[in-house]
Structure 1
Amino acid sequence: MERKLSSEHQLTVQPQVITDFWQRHVKTGTLKAADNIRLAYAYSVPQNARGTVVISSGRIEAYLKYQEVVFDFFHHGYAVFILDHRGQGLSSRMTENPHQGYVEHFDQYVADMETFIEQKVKVLQPKGPRYLVGHSMGCAIGVLTALKHPDYFDKLVFCSPMFGIRPALPRWLANQLLNHFTRKFTKAGLATDYFVGQKDYLPPTFENNHLTHSRIRYRLFRMLYAEQPALQLGGVTIHWLRAALHVIDIIESRASELNQPCLLLSAGSDTVVDNRRQMRVAQKLKAVTVKSLPGAYHELFIEKDDIRKDTFEAIFDFLA
């Protein structure tokens, strides 16, 4: 009989269960990217794993934020591998201000994922099916990786995928703003800076957050980032936003090239990504199951128990 999922009650009264699991069953390390950026990763492999899950996390996230997620996949029989994308988590930052969400282009994320899969995932878990489980920005990275390497993943899971960004500005206006601020910062001698309205890490209160309805999971997430300031990441830079908008167009134009079965989980009350553009991409996928989770906020993996249960049940059914 398979183990039940971790619960909000367990996190409240027995948080050490996850901590003990992490200390006993999870290994961590670092590897160097092609351009010598240091990449942090974690993995956990149960006996007789039924398959391997490669998690591609969202923007600002770290593998430490996924402790409960790794716990649940492990206890349902899956080996789990997760990489901290460059510029966030415990991986190297690339700007003088470590709070700036920066990347030159998403091909760098893809190259890092290639390094991780070739040097760690394939070496440590060479047999059995391999699945991508992406969240938000991690889904965009996962799509690009799967397009470049169709043999990497047998199935693709997209949770609240960043196939569009909210607020969805008209492209002409977005480009106009990006060009204006690029000229402004270049003239000021700045290599990079935040896009308008973006700033250093400053977490909202639970009552003002639009990521999860789970008070305990939100509290644990923010406590983790408060206790380990190296994990903190603020808003996006002009470079990141320009790269993201470019990639979103690529994903929509090339979605029909994906041959793997796909599961797209859409958070019904998402205010971070554009669900309408998600559906446009879904219509182009050759083999896709779409499941909407009414009322759910963006972070399905740290949502309240009923939404999280529906999320994992959909994933487990799909992978099986």
Structure 2
Amino acid sequence: MGWTLTSENNLATTLAKQINPFWQEQVTLGRFNGKDGVTVRFAYCIPPSPKATVVISSGRIESYLKYKELIFDFFQNGFAVFILDHRGQGLSDRMTRDRQHGYVANFDDYVDDLITFIDTVVEPNQQGELHLVCHSMGGAIGALTLLRRPYLFSKAVLASPMFGIKPALPNWLANGLIRTGLAVNRMKKKDAGYFFGQTPYIAFPFSLNKLTHSKSRYALFRELYDEEQEIQLGGVTTEWLAAAHEAMHTIEQSAGGIRTPALILSADSDTIIDNKRQRKVAQTMPNATLEIIPRAYHELFAESDDIRQRVLTRVFDFLSAP
């Protein structure tokens, strides 16, 4: 089937003339109270007679504002789309005094929020089957959700899922560094602190980025974070890393129990995710298809057209198949 997809050519014009007006006219914004009263922000849009409903679980540091182009593409092709900003990032509440901290106490908190979102916001508006689409950290959250609620989604797409992260340190070293960092934070009576080598938000130039080959998509991403400084996020805290390690271990041990039909897209030139571990985990999921995307950097949904269009065609075909 032929799908209608945006292009990186003249993307700034497309954003101004098509995507932003669509956002004003078609997208509903809201908030709900997540676990422990943390305010979680969300957005959704429903086209006429949607073929299915998609829930997006985004990656670390991301906001739904960064997903405008992708949401527009889903909507244009007949999918209802629901997306939330995970706690501690985007437009949702932070849980530490420093807004730049990448922090969560436990990945189960992300899962609790996602399930609350689906139960209270998505399902009352759902049309057609319910599908899950994830990127990076959102893939780890998605996998944990599929384990907890095995029959919630008809299908799942996990793009560059965070089943392992680089640098892939030996367990003894990673755990030792995490324990040391946690002890230092307790000693200093801090609610959280950056992990060794992590800093507040830095806008790297395109030439140093390892996220995408698309100059225009990268430029728009950085412009957005300059304009909407509320969504800026720095590096990970030791607490987030400890929670991530625990989550990835759980996924690795339990992946055989994820029975939802899944499409796993692995970016072959990813320098953020440990692809070796990711693919090993993917291969233990009984109903998953692992597809390796040649030359692709981490952000498959924001890559250059030659990669992104292939990825989205594959995603739309998978979600539309009977």
Both structures adopt the same fold (TM-score exceeding 0.5): yes
Q: 1:205 is matched with which residue?
A: 205
Determine the C-alpha separation between the residues in 2 that align with 1:42 and 1:14.
20
Determine the C-alpha separation between the residues in 2 that align with 1:162 and 1:3.
28
Determine the C-alpha separation between the residues in 2 that align with 1:59 and 1:225.
14
Question: SS at 1:172's partner residue?
Answer: helix
Contact 1:28 1:41 in 2 (8 A): yes
Determine the C-alpha separation between the residues in 2 that align with 1:230 and 1:147.
33
Q: 2:255 is matched with which residue?
A: 255
Structure 2: 5+ residue stretches without partners = none
Give the drift of 1:128. Answer: 1.6
Identity %: 50
Question: SS at 2:30's partner residue?
Answer: strand
Give the drift of 1:2. Answer: 5.2
Structure 1: 5+ residue stretches without partners = none
What one-letter code is carried by the residue in structure 1 that aligns with 2:294? Answer: P
Give the drift of 1:165. Answer: 0.4
Give the drift of 1:31. Answer: 0.8
Structure 1 range deviating more: 153-162 or 288-297:
288-297
What one-letter code is carried by the residue in structure 1 that aligns with 2:99? Answer: P
The 5 A counterparts of 1:118-157 are 118-125=119-126, 127-157=127-157
Q: 1:11 is matched with which residue?
A: 11
Q: 1:311 is matched with which residue?
A: 311
Determine the C-alpha separation between the residues in 2 that align with 1:154 and 1:136.
20
Q: 1:115 is matched with which residue?
A: 116
Q: 1:299 is matched with which residue?
A: 299
Q: 1:233 is matched with which residue?
A: 233
Q: 2:66 is matched with which residue?
A: 65
The 5 A counterparts of 1:170-249 are 170-249=170-249
Q: 1:77 is matched with which residue?
A: 78
Deviations 1:44-83 (A, max 9, x none): 1011111011000000000000000000001111000000
Question: SS at 1:8's partner residue?
Answer: coil
Contact 1:266 1:291 in 2 (8 A): yes
What one-letter code is carried by the residue in structure 1 that aligns with 2:95? Answer: M
Contact 1:89 1:232 in 2 (8 A): yes
TM-score (normalizing by structure 2): 0.97
Give the drift of 1:157. Answer: 0.5
Deviations 1:8-54 (A, max 9, x none): 11414432211111111111111111311100000010111110110
Q: 2:96 is matched with which residue?
A: 95
Contact 1:46 1:74 in 2 (8 A): yes
Q: 2:49 is matched with which residue?
A: 48
TM-score (normalizing by structure 1): 0.98
Question: SS at 2:53's partner residue?
Answer: strand
Determine the C-alpha separation between the residues in 2 that align with 1:54 and 1:13.
27
